[in-house]
Amino acid sequence: MPITEEALQAALSRVIEPDLKKDIVELDLVQEVVIDEDHISIIVEVSNPAMHSRKRMEEAVIFQLKQAFGDSITVNVSVRPISGARGGLRKVLPYVKHIIAVASGKGGVGKSTITANLAVGLAQRGLKVGLVDADIYGPSMPLMFDVLKERPRVKEVDGKNLIVPVDSYGVKLLSIGFFADPGQAIAWRGPMASKALDQLFKDADWGELDVMLVDLPPGTGDIHLSLVQAVPLSGAIIVSTPQPVALVDARKGVGLFNMPSVNVPVLGIVENMAWFIPAESVGGRKLADIPEKERMYIFGKGGAQALAEELNVPFMAEVPLVQSIREAADVGRPAVLQGETPAAEAFTPLLDAMQRILAELETAQQEKKAHSEEQLAAKP
């Protein structure tokens, strides 16, 4: 049987989205189809981002197409979570526009400090921001946001008890640290840690958010894979110092998100602790005005930027090592709150880059929505 668009639509209309109980053509979940003789490439969306749900959809599409056109055809199916204006159909976090993971590979590179200041900085700029502290074994956000003694309350929504995130500096925050004593070691096996992470997303009342940041633990382990299965990520950011030993693991972090089974776009690389200058040498100058000859590249120079160029990943910004940034984290007041100071200024290029990325994601979603509406209008 020849592969025609009409026959293809008929075959796909027999694929039912398991959670929404309607066929994927009626729901407009078929986002792209390319027919090349006896080869079909197709992009389909699903409401549940979990890996098993995506795998079932892939198998169902292949089965129906081979039923219609024979076993001799080859089918390539890409399945992704529902996004954009139709995000309300999503099973998980339907009212969160963008979910972005912040990872590092290597510990101790300042990933959590970067995440905390990104969250507060974006909130200062008028965005609705959520933050999930996914470092289950070493949660640090309660300290960085000065809410160590807070305990989230619970409220009933549609007959279900949901956790209400703690609000600090305009950011909605949840961390496993809220449910354990500050000095308590969390010695959980992978499945238990993954279940706890899942609850921070699915059993909480996050409401409407422009962006949710997820502070991941170091490495490339269970938590990272659980996150990909639990929520529809818009992308990931990798944080590294310029030091070669950190770049080795940053490269692994990029590789993890690029794996076909993960398939999360890496939105950019951040170089933290890029250079240092003693506080007494800054004077009244802006960091951007400090000449290179006065900058101390104690961890090496430009390593993360070079890695970004090598891997063809956008380089977002370099954040210098400023003593008051560390001091701000330790007292629970992120550096971006310090007004016209070198510590706050250090994050301005990064926040500008983050807003550009969010604007690009929004534009891409609007274009996809317009394309879907055109396709729908063209249907008889």
| Predicted local distance difference test score (pLDDT) of residue 1 | 65
Q: Is the pLDDT of residue 375 over 60?
A: no
| Predicted local distance difference test score (pLDDT) of residue 170 | 96
| Predicted local distance difference test score (pLDDT) of residue 334 | 94
State how beta strands 209-215 and 22-23 pair: unpaired
Q: Pick from 22-26, 133-137, 142-146, 175-179 the range whose average pLDDT is largest.
A: 142-146
5-85 and 92-359 share one fold: no
Distance CA 121, CA 126 (A): 9
**Superfamily of the domain at 92-359:** P-loop containing nucleotide triphosphate hydrolases (3.40.50.300)
E strands along the chain, which residues? 16-17, 22-23, 30-36, 39-46, 74-81, 96-103, 129-133, 154-157, 160-163, 166-168, 171-175, 209-215, 235-240, 266-276, 315-321
Instruction: Give domain limits for the chain.
Output: 5-85, 92-359
Q: Is the pLDDT of residue 319 over 80?
A: yes
Q: Out of 48-62, 101-115, 329-343, which region has the weakest mean confidence (pLDDT)?
A: 48-62
Which tens digit of pLDDT belongs to each residue from 96-142?
999 999 999 888 899 999 999 999 999 999 999 999 999 888 889 99
- pLDDT higher for 204 or 158? 204
| Predicted local distance difference test score (pLDDT) of residue 378 | 59
| Predicted local distance difference test score (pLDDT) of residue 304 | 94
| Predicted local distance difference test score (pLDDT) of residue 241 | 93
Q: Which CATH architecture has domain 5-85?
A: 2-Layer Sandwich (3.30)
Quote the pTM value: 0.79
Tokens 């550096």 correspond to 335
In the 8-state DSSP scheme, what is residue 165? P
| Predicted local distance difference test score (pLDDT) of residue 261 | 73
